[in-house]
Amino acid sequence: MSTQRVYLHDDQCVTTIATVQAVVDGAFTVEQSPFFVGGGGQPCDIGTVDGVVISGVSVDADDWVWHQSVAALTVGQQVELCVDAPRRAILSRYHTALHVLNTLAMVHYQAWITGAQMTTDYARIDFAMPWLDPVVLADLELRMNETLAANHAVRAYTMPPAEFAQRPDLIRTLNVKPPVYHGVVRIVEIVGFDGQACGGTHVRHTREVGACTIFKSENKGKQNKRLYVRFAD
C-alpha cells in the first residue's frame, strides 16, 4: 500500500478527507492526498491538516507521501487535508503557460528544455537555444498569448511506456527521463495544441492562465537561454 495521489486524476481537487496511516516526529502519512509532491520545476503544495499548517510534503521509497506538520495526530485518525488553493492555482497557471511556451519554442525554433522553475511570482524556463534574439522573444510572447486566449481545454491521461517510446512528439526535454508512475506515463494534453509527459498540475482551460509577458531573458552558458514569464496583469 502507498499514498494515492489524488491530483494525478483530479488536479482541481484541493481538499480530501483521509485516515492517518503513520506518524513520525514532525510528519504523517495518509492513504490518499491532494498535495502535489513537487517535480518538473513545480514546487510541492503547502496547506493544512485540520487547520494546522503543512509546510511541505515528500515521498519515501515506498511511495508514501509524508506531510510535514506539527499537528498532534494518531494512527487511524480521520483528518481533513486542505491544499493552499490560491497558491496552487497560481502555480497551475504558470505550469500551463510553460507548456504552451515550450511547445512553441520546440515547434517554431527547435528548442529543447534544459530546466524549469515555477514560483508564485514568476516562472522561468531554460532552452538550448543559442539563436534566441529579441525578435524571437517577441514572436514567442505573441504566439503564447494567442494560444492561451484560444482557450484550449487541458486534460491528463496515461499510456504504457512502450507506447510512449513510439511518441517522440510527447517529449520536450532530453536530459530528464519521463516519469513512469504505477507502470504508466502521464500525458498532459492541451487539446488541439500539444501533448507532453508531465506529472504536475494545470488549469482546465488555457484562458484561465491569462495574458503573460516574457519579462526577462538571460544567457546561461553558451547554449542555454533562460526566459522569465509572469502574468501581464
Give the binding site for Zn ion (CB under 5 A): 95, 188, 198, 200
* Helix boundaries (H) for 50-111: 85-109
**Which is closer to Zn ion, CB of 136 or CB of 176?**
176
Pairing of strands 78-83, 123-128: unpaired
Angle (CA) 219-220-224 rounded to 5° is: 90
**Which is closer to Zn ion, CB of 178 or CB of 200?**
200
**Which is closer to Zn ion, CB of 65 or CB of 188?**
188
Angle (CA) 9-12-15 rounded to 5° is: 95
Compute CA distances 133 → 141, 181, 218, whole Å: 12, 38, 11
- Residue 139: enclosing H or E segment and its boundaries? helix 134-149
- Residue 228: enclosing H or E segment and its boundaries? strand 224-231
CB of residue 199 vs Zn ion: minimum separation in angstroms? 7
Cell of 10: 483530479
CB of residue 99 vs Zn ion: minimum separation in angstroms? 5
**Which is closer to Zn ion, CB of 20 or CB of 156?**
156
CB of residue 69 vs Zn ion: minimum separation in angstroms? 27
What is the number of the residue whose Cβ is closest to Zn ion?
A: 198
Cell 524556463 belongs to residue:
125
CB of residue 173 vs Zn ion: minimum separation in angstroms? 12
Helical axes 85-109 vs 134-149, angle rounded to 10°: 120
CB of residue 10 vs Zn ion: minimum separation in angstroms? 15
Question: What amino acid occupies position 148?
Answer: L
**Which is closer to Zn ion, CB of 30 or CB of 126?**
126
Compute CA distances 84 → 59, 87, 89, 207, whole Å: 19, 6, 9, 22
CB of residue 229 vs Zn ion: minimum separation in angstroms? 14
**Which is closer to Zn ion, CB of 3 or CB of 42?**
42
